[in-house]
Each structure stands twice: as structure tokens, then as C-alpha cells.
Structure 1
Amino acid sequence: MSHFSAVLCGFYGMKNLGDELLLQGMIDLFASVGVGRDRLAVLSGDPDHTSRTYGVRSVSRWSPKDIWELCRSSQSLVLGGGGLFQDSTSVRSVSYYSGVMALARMAGCVTWVYGNSLGPLSSFAGRSMARLALKGVRSLALRDRSSMALANRLGLKAVMCPDPVTALSLERAYGDRVLVNLRPWDGRLEIEAARAIGGYLSSRSLTAVGVAMAPEDRDLMEGLVGKGLLDLEDIVLPDGANHPVWRSGGFSVGMRLHFNVLSSLSGIPGVAVPYDPKVRDYGSSVGYGVLGHGGTIEPSGPDFSWLESCKEMSGEVFRSCWKDVIKP
């Protein structure tokens, strides 16, 4: 019998709060099917931190030898959440995750995907590698409509599931601060969004705080404040979903997917700034306003009934996928 039920692979241990929440969500989902932390292992950019924080075995995501040895003692390898198969900046992400999945299969692991986005895949190389890697999975569960449509075009059979982070439970917000999240992107969208947000805040004399989901978000927003494009009273880098900044929110406007997820789970009306189809899909699904080229900010939502259905659906789809993975 394999020592581990699953090796979890994602952008874990890379100082991005969204990906850390995905890992926590995946661990919780495994617990719901009776798989404890002692039966899970994680590929991480910071194995020591991951092991201490989550109580799981962890090895370096950059060590083929360690990955091979871990997969040799595991029943499966799962890509657990995130936008892993995309080539927006280069094909490196697709190459890495395709390579890990190939190595896992050679080691005897069943490979599967849960809660991921698929795409954008604009290059022939990216599409080819993704199609080849994903054709061999036992189960493919994607988290948004755009990903499902791309899977169909690539000839891949997939089911839709909620993002794993939507299964978390957060305290309701009670504050009146505007929560702002901007991330580095193409050098244009984040500037346009900053100008729109800055104008909105100034016209209404509102107090805003920057919420950085990763260190590069903080650096960007500090630069925007320095240029006079944004007026933020503070910029915080939360260490988890229970950070008090979420409870202080009155409404939110931001780019990162999981910034919008946490804001909506906290009951905060919001505006999504879509740098990627997954953000637009989530924003429209949860009832958030979506910042367009006109720069109009109109907070709305969240749809609590939709969020509750996500929690229920997340457990149901995960159980179904897990049954497919462990079947002989």
C-alpha cells in the first residue's frame, strides 16, 4: 500500500496568499473524504514553512529526485487549484506542470486536476503541452466557464467545480473602509484601475487600505501611492483568511481572484478588475461589478445563495472526483 494518498502540486510556498488558501482548501476537502494530513504530501517552494504551517510532509518543488521519490510512495498526484496551465507571459508554467505530471505517471501515480483554471493558452506549444498532459488525467475539474470552454476546444472531458477557497467560512465584515488590491500585470491595466479607483475615492472622500496578496502587490501599490495615483492610509499583507482587514471592509475593488473571493465570503460588496477570464467569471457569478474600460466603479453583491451553493457543490464534486481517482 502506498504511504501517501496524494501529492499536492500547485504554486504553494511561493508567498502568495491565494495559493496558500488553495492548499488549505484542498487539505480540508481531503479531510472531508477521510484522508488526513498524514496521508498527504506537498510540493512547495518553501518546504519547511509548508510542513510547519500545515502539518504535512513537504519537499522542494524544484527537486526532480525528491518529487520522484515522493510520487513512488503515493497513490496519486493532484494539481490542486490555481491557474497553472497558462502561457500569458511564457510557456514555463505549462512546461513545469506538464513535466511534474509526466514524472508522477512514470512513478506510478494516478494524476488528476481539481479546482484549476485552464488558459489563456495563446501559443501552439502551450496548447500542445497542456492537451498532452491533461489527456492522461483520471479526473479533470475546472473552476470557471472560460476554462470549461477551452477544455472543450482542446478535446478534453472536464467537469466544473467551485474554486476550493469558496469552501472556507469567514466572519462577516462590519467596517466602512474601501479595500483595494492591485497586482502587477501589463503596465497598463493596473495604472488605469489605479486612476479610476483614485478618482472614485477622492470624489467621495473615502478611506481606503491596500490589501496585498503577495509582496509584488505591495510594491506596486506603494509605487502608485508615491506617484499620487492612489491615496491609501495603509497597505497590509495579510497572513491568512482570518486577518482583521477583511472584517474592516465596507466595499472592495481588486484584481486578484482570491482577493475577490475573500471579500465576497466576508459579505463585502465589490468590484472585480479582470486581468484574466477567471476574475471576470468569478465577479459576474458572485454578483460583483466589473471594472470596464470606461473606469466606472459600481460596487454590488455578493450573492450569498450562490456562495452557499459553491460550498455544497465543492464537497460533492470533490467526492465524485476522489472516487474516480481511487477506483481500481
Structure 2
Amino acid sequence: MRAVLCGYYGKGNGGDEALLATLLQMLPAQVKPLVLSGNPEETQLRYGVPACDRFSASAVLQALRQSEAFIWGGGSLMQDVTSPMSPLYYGGVMRLAQQMGLRTIAWAQGIGPLNRSLTRWITRTSLQHCTAVSVRDGGSASLVAEWGIPFILAPDPVWALEPEPVPGLWDLPAPRIAIALRPHPYLTSERLHIFTKALIDFQKATQTFVLLIPFQPIQDLAIAQTLHAALPDVSQILTLTQPRQLRGVFRGVEMVIAMRFHGLIMAAAAECRCFAMNYDPKVRQLMQELDFRGWAIDQMPSDPAVICRDWMELYANGSSLSSHQISAIVDRALIHREVLEKALVNSGASG
């Protein structure tokens, strides 16, 4: 069976690449993937699977004609906060696949926010005609339940991504902390300046080495460079393009301060202490579910000393998830693999 995998792939976002790597890890052995990618050559080289241009209508149509299944491959594909174009694209390709008779799976979805009636309608209609639906958080589950659509709820599949070691990591000074920030309107230059002052004070007090990790370099690198310039001798920017290495880097880290959703998941899965900077409902829900410390970006303290004190408290006295808790979450995340197995191998139903 050939399955088309559709997500925000080939766009340089570490979290979405991690979702693709996990989906390929969980895909049943008898299913041959074909990835719709923003950079097909890079995707083929990195994962060793065929890929085609997600923006080429003829290539997408040909991929669907050659396939028996279509998978939305995880993440916040159906949301209109960034742009209404996202649900229009993903919903359009999903409905085309359904009309062509492919089995269709909405896999590990984080649905919403959906602030427009059109995007809500597109999302609901797409999901109603899916062979199988799995979601990764309670908010998405509530919305799909409200629409009366059968679904499976399980933690984000990246919890189960197999890590790989990062060459040279253990040669860097220890103990280490990691920072994973991203641009956002609430992260103003003034707030970033306050954050930087707090980080300088925290580093001096703890004598930690700071790993600056841009999850999406085209967006995040400038912030990492700003922080590195303030801590030139005690920090290093790590730009990791292999998702398993991105997952593995947190094995060598004591604590993470992150906005990036999958940065928090990867760190928590590696038994790091996590301090979250909430900019999105998915981060807020993760904080609530796992009792992470942190604050919303727009409520960040204006006094660097207060910020430093919060971080120091977590570093000195805070705890990570236990290995038992992590194992339980990973086991539940593997439910997404069962969804694929049932819909693609054990089911004779068509989408």
C-alpha cells in the first residue's frame, strides 16, 4: 500500500520534522510512504523516502492517484491563527483524497484555534469523512466530540520518537541548560532584553553552559544569536536538522526554558526540568497537563531579578517527570501507531 503523508514538512521546522520522523517510525512495514514536502530533495535525502513538491498541483494529484491512503501527519495543521491558508490547503488536499476514494487519516492532530466559520466548516467536513481520527490534546478532543466525530485521544507522538546522540555534545561544559525561543508579537524587543538580563544573572549564579536551540532556524536563529552575543563564552548555538538528534540533545541537559511546544515535549521526555513560556493554547494545555512551571509571554515579569529567581527555584528545587511518568506517556503516545495499523492494515473500509 502507498500512503501520501501530508504535513508542514520540508519547511525547516524541527517540531514538524520530528512528527514526520515519528510517523515514519510508526508506519506499518507494508505501507510505502510518499511525502508531500516543501523541499522534496532534502526530505528524500534525510529520510530515504520518496517525496514530491507539496505546492505542485500536478505532483500532488499524481501522488494521490498512485496511492491508497492519505495521512495528515500530525501537528497544528487545522488552525487559522497564523493564516487561513493553512486549513484551506490541508482541508483541500484531504477532501480531494476522500473524493478519490483513498483511506484518509487525521493523525495526531492539534486542532484549532479556528476563529473563522469557513475554516471550522472545512475542518469539520474533512474530519467527518476520515477513516480514522486521532488527536493529541484535550482541547482538540472536546472540539471533535462536539462535532460528533469518533476519535482517539493520545499524547503527541513525538514522546515516542527514538533519540540519537549529538556528536560533540558531551565535550561541552556541564551542567547545561537549553533555551528554545521563537519570534512572537508578545516577545517584544523590550521583553527579550529583560529575558537576556535574567539569563545572564542565572548563568552567573549557576555556572551553567547555555545551549541555544533554534527549532526553526529561519525564524529562531536571530533570537539565539542575540542571546549568544550576550553570553559569548558560556553559550553555543546548536542548529540540529536531524529530528532524532534534536530529541537526543536534551539527554545532556539539566533544564530547559522554552516556547517551542516540541522543545518542551522532547526535554520532558529526557527527564529535564521544564520552564514553559506560553504563547499558544497548545503550550498552555501542555503546561496544565504536566504541571510545568512558567508564564504566558504577555505576563512575563518586568524585573529580571524576579525571572532569575523563578528559574533558580526550578533549577535548585524543581523536579522533572519521573521515568515511570515518562514511560506511561510514551505507552499512550504509541496508541497513534495502533491507529495507523488498524486503519491501514486491518481495515477494509475506504475513506
Instruction: Identify if the C-alpha distance between structure 1 residues 221 and 100 changes in structure 2 by more than 3 Å, giving closer, same or farther.
Output: same
Tell me the CA shift for residue 218 of structure 1.
0.9
State the partner residue of 1:208. 210
Instruction: Identify if the C-alpha distance between structure 1 residues 182 and 62 changes in structure 2 by more than 3 Å, giving closer, same or farther.
Output: same
Instruction: Identify if the C-alpha distance between structure 1 residues 71 and 252 changes in structure 2 by more than 3 Å, giving closer, same or farther.
Output: same
Distance 1:224 1:103 in 2: 45
Q: Where do residues 15-30 of structure 1 align in structure 2 (5 Å cutoff)?
A: 15-30=12-27
Report which structure shows greater RCO (CA 8 Å, sep ≥6). Answer: 2
State the partner residue of 1:252. 256
What code does the residue aligned with 1:323 have? K
Residues 287 and 302 in structure 1, CA contact (< 8 A), matched pair in contact too: no
Distance 1:321 1:251 in 2: 34
Gaps of 5+ in 1: none
Q: Does 1:47 align with 2:46?
A: no
State the partner residue of 2:348. 327
Distance 1:254 1:313 in 2: 24
Distance 2:337 2:129 in 1: 19
1:90 pairs with one of 83, 91, 95: 83
Per the normalisation by structure 2, the TM-score is 0.82
What code does the residue aligned with 1:153 have? E
What code does the residue aligned with 1:242 have? Q
2:325 pairs with one of 306, 321, 326: 306
State the partner residue of 1:233. 235
Instruction: Identify if the C-alpha distance between structure 1 residues 80 and 301 changes in structure 2 by more than 3 Å, giving closer, same or farther.
Output: same
Tell me the CA shift for residue 236 of structure 1.
2.0
Q: Does 1:222 align with 2:219?
A: no
Q: Where do residues 1-328 of structure 1 align in structure 2 (5 Å cutoff)?
A: 4=2, 6-30=3-27, 33-35=28-30, 39-170=32-163, 175-188=174-187, 192=191, 195-196=194-195, 198-203=197-202, 205=204, 206=207, 207-215=209-217, 216-223=219-226, 233-240=235-242, 241-242=244-245, 245-292=249-296, 293=299, 295=301, 296-297=310-311, 299=314, 300-325=319-344, 326-328=347-349
What code does the residue aligned with 2:30 have? V
Tell me the CA shift for residue 281 of structure 1.
2.3
Instruction: Identify if the C-alpha distance between structure 1 residues 24 and 204 changes in structure 2 by more than 3 Å, giving closer, same or farther.
Output: closer
Residues 270 and 302 in structure 1, CA contact (< 8 A), matched pair in contact too: no
Distance 1:232 1:211 in 2: 14
Distance 1:231 1:137 in 2: 53
Structure number with the higher helix fraction is 2
Distance 1:166 1:101 in 2: 26
Tell me the CA shift for residue 264 of structure 1.
1.7
Aligned length: 320
Instruction: Identify if the C-alpha distance between structure 1 residues 125 and 320 changes in structure 2 by more than 3 Å, giving closer, same or farther.
Output: closer
Partner of 1:273, secondary structure, is strand
Distance 1:106 1:40 in 2: 20
CA RMSD of aligned residues (A): 2.8
Tell me the CA shift for residue 305 of structure 1.
2.3
Partner of 2:254, secondary structure, is strand
Identity of aligned residues (%): 27
